[in-house]
Amino acid sequence: MVSDKTEILFATGNRHKIEEAKEIFTKYDLSVSQLIVDGKRPHLSEPQTDSIEEVSKSKIQQVREIISGTALEQSVILVEDSGLFIETLGGFPGPYSSYVKEKLGLSGILELLRNNSHRKAKFMAAVGIHHNGKNTFVVGTCEGRISLEIKGSEGFGYDPIFIPNEADGRTCGELSNEEKSLISHRGMALKEVAEYLISRQSE
């Protein structure tokens, strides 16, 4: 049963992702917090694959094993894997977005696209939920383009170089959390997951 007292446990170390999930779930009277086991955030490995859905599936599996036999065994678990896919680079960095951001930085990505007018890109998020013994996965997409310069200090990751089609020309780094959640890949997927949970409220 899901009620407003049910705590959804999000297995992530990214505080921005948790804030974005809170932004969405609050609207559905659902509560979300970070998954902590034995006082720490469990380490989840990411399989080498080009599919963010596969990574999400692996994360759910790992979390289920970690909480098996603990007081958290029956909890509603949320996982997510996401990335930036740049069309002219064949979808790079995709599932490797986190590593590439760390190594190249935002300016490294802008450098890769220097003098390139084809700047189409998309963010994608594969969100997985474990509820009542069942895993459900939802993919959210946010289409846009890579900016010519780094702009804004909101959000995280590639936000300051990504201009979503559905906004007014600002980068995600210039949008508030609320504005971003209305149109973002994660916002879309989390909204669907929240509606799924609400629809099963009586189970």
Q: Interface with ligand IMP by CB under 6 A: which residues? A: 14, 81-84, 97-98, 101, 123, 155-159, 172, 184, 186
Q: 130 pairs with which residues across the strands?
A: 77, 135
- 34 SS3 class: strand
Task: Please name the helix (run of DSSP H) or strand (run of DSSP E) that holds residue 145, with its range, or none.
Answer: strand 134-146
Is 81 catalytic? The answer is yes
DSSP codes, 54-68:
HHHHHHHHHHHHHHT
Minimum CB separation from ligand IMP for residue 63, in Å? 14
Q: Which residue is nearest to ligand IMP (CB)?
A: 157
Greatest alpha-carbon span in the chain? 56
Residue 181's φ and ψ, nearest 5 degrees, are: -60, -30
Minimum CB separation from ligand IMP for residue 202, in Å? 32
Handedness of CA 100, 63, 31, 123 (dihedral sign): positive
Q: Active-site residue among 4, 38, 81, 159?
A: 81
Q: Which residue has the tokens 């310069």?
A: 149
Minimum CB separation from ligand IMP for residue 154, in Å? 10
Residue 2 or 174 with smaller CB distance to ligand IMP: 174
Residue 51 or 74 with smaller CB distance to ligand IMP: 51
Minimum CB separation from ligand IMP for residue 113, in Å? 16
Q: Which residues contact 150 (CB under 8 A, 6 or more apart)?
A: 106, 107, 110, 160, 161, 173
Minimum CB separation from ligand IMP for residue 121, in Å? 11
167 DSSP 8-state letter = S
Residue 131 or 186 with smaller CB distance to ligand IMP: 186
Residue 2 or 180 with smaller CB distance to ligand IMP: 180
Report residue 122 CA to chain centroid gap.
13
Residue 6 or 104 with smaller CB distance to ligand IMP: 104
Catalytic residues: 81
